[in-house]
A and B are shown apart, each in its own frame.
Chain A
């Protein structure tokens, strides 16, 4: 019992260290730069306490569930030896987690508003909703494809930089042709797709795959899946903007 409490306190302390910079920054700017009192100090302290408990629990769950789950899935698929199923799994994981991502929903709604103001979309509720939905599906498909290509890359042992640099080149080329109002959204779409639960799972999956496949190095081949998932949405969203403008 004592050992459990000490371990818990240790984890809380490590979470507190993770959160300290935010508290310091917010406190400094509020008190020293803006020179205003902290509003509702008890509410603030309660909020920080909740964040602290949440982070501690999450880190526990990471070790108990997310990492082992990603690794055991990688092992199971490698044992099964079916290329079709592992690729289907990679696509489903990317598509499924992104389609439901709340920050993407927010960005897509925002993008629909911009498009409506730029007269790209009819300014009605229905037209905006349709645009936002199509945009979300585009991003979800792009993340699905990213994980699919990323897994093929791990299996084949292709160096990550050639793929990523070609991706960059596509982004640059598309930037010149895509409608101006979609570029900012497209660039941001790359960042919003990777959520707190997806990242550890996908990382464990990649590292696990590189671990069980002969001749792959987990460091060189295992990482890189997230990089694909944040690059392809930029390409697909700009392509979506061009298609929408053309049709």
Chain B
């Protein structure tokens, strides 16, 4: 119990230290520049205490339970003894030997993104601003799928040793093409979702996976190849959110077309049957 309280105190203190620049900037500007009393000051102070306490508990729980286990699992899954069984360890990594690693990368990328508090915040805001057109869960799942694909592909890159810029630059090209076809409404939100995915929960687990992979695969340097997974995790959600918007728009349009003109779709069908 004493040990727990000490740990909690330590996490709480470091959370307060992390939050303090934000609090200083906010209140400094409020006091010296805006010079107006803050509306609902009491509520905001209570809310800030909730945020700090909540974040400290959240981090402590992650550090005590999930991160150590996740890191051990990343190590075990990338361990040559697990990957090659009793067989000899090849000198050059063969990408098909690592299927479980890609599966783990995708699953952990998806799961950590669903739990990411900053993404929940942005999704709530987006749903509010769009008047419900963008659903909180729709956005979160779209982003999580993007992170899953990204981290999995990033693991594949570490295994094969292909250059990082190839993937990132191709990703950019896909984003640019999608931007031209996407609705103006979704583009800024999609771009934002790249940045929000990678915070408290995702970064430590994904980084552990990258370092584990890069340090066990022959010919990879943990220091150079271990980096880059975060970049994948922040690029692919942009693609998946744009895709999600396009798919929803397409479905809506089809639904609307069917509802508006039931006759119009019938001749189309008969034409198809006669040919």
Which residues in A have some Cβ–Cβ distance to B below 8 Å? 18-19, 21-22, 24-26, 28-30, 33-34, 36, 38-39, 43-69, 72-73, 76-77, 80, 85, 89, 92-93, 96-97, 99-103, 110, 113-114, 117, 159-161, 164-165, 168, 171-172, 175, 181, 183-185, 187-188, 190-201, 203-204, 207, 218-227, 229-230
Flag if B54 contacts A58 (CB, 8 Å): yes
Flag if A48 contacts B65 (CB, 8 Å): yes
Q: Would you call B244 an interface residue if the criterion is a C-beta within 8 Å of the partner chain's C-beta atoms?
A: no
Query: Which of A96, A171, A219 has the most B CB atoms < 10 Å from its CB?
Result: A219
Residues in B with CB closer than 8 Å to A51 are: 57-58, 61-62, 65-66, 115
The stretch of B17-25, B86-94, B255-263, B266-274 in contact with A is B17-25
How long is the Cα–Cα vector from A183 to B164 in the complex, in angstroms? Answer: 9
Flag if B50 contacts A64 (CB, 8 Å): yes
The residue on B at minimum CB distance from A169 is B172
Whether A220 touches B185, Cβ cut-off 8 Å, given contacts A43-B65, A56-B54, is: yes
Contact of A200 among B25, B73, B77, B121 (CB under 8 A): B121
How long is the Cα–Cα vector from A238 to B264 in the complex, in angstroms? Answer: 56
Whether A60 touches B50, Cβ cut-off 8 Å, given contacts A25-B108, A195-B18, is: yes
- Interface contacts (Cβ under 8 Å), in number, total 325
Flag if A113 contacts B223 (CB, 8 Å): yes
How long is the Cα–Cα vector from A41 to B51 in the complex, in angstroms? Answer: 28
Residues in B with CB closer than 8 Å to A92 are: 25, 29
Shortest A127–chain B CB gap in Å is 17
Which residues in B have some Cβ–Cβ distance to A below 8 Å? 14, 17-22, 24-26, 29-30, 33-34, 36, 38-40, 43-62, 64-66, 69-70, 73, 76-77, 82, 100, 104, 107-108, 110-112, 114-115, 117-118, 120-122, 124-126, 129-130, 164-165, 168-169, 172, 175-176, 179, 184-185, 187-189, 191-192, 194-201, 203, 223-225, 227-231, 233-234
How long is the Cα–Cα vector from A235 to B30 in the complex, in angstroms? Answer: 32
How long is the Cα–Cα vector from A183 to B126 in the complex, in angstroms? Answer: 33
| Other contacts beyond A51-B58, A54-B61: 15, CB < 8 A | A26-B66, A54-B58, A54-B59, A61-B49, A69-B44, A103-B199, A190-B231, A191-B197, A200-B121, A207-B125, A218-B129, A222-B129, A222-B188, A226-B195, A227-B192
Flag if B51 contacts A46 (CB, 8 Å): no
Flag if B21 contacts A99 (CB, 8 Å): yes
The residue on B at minimum CB distance from A28 is B107
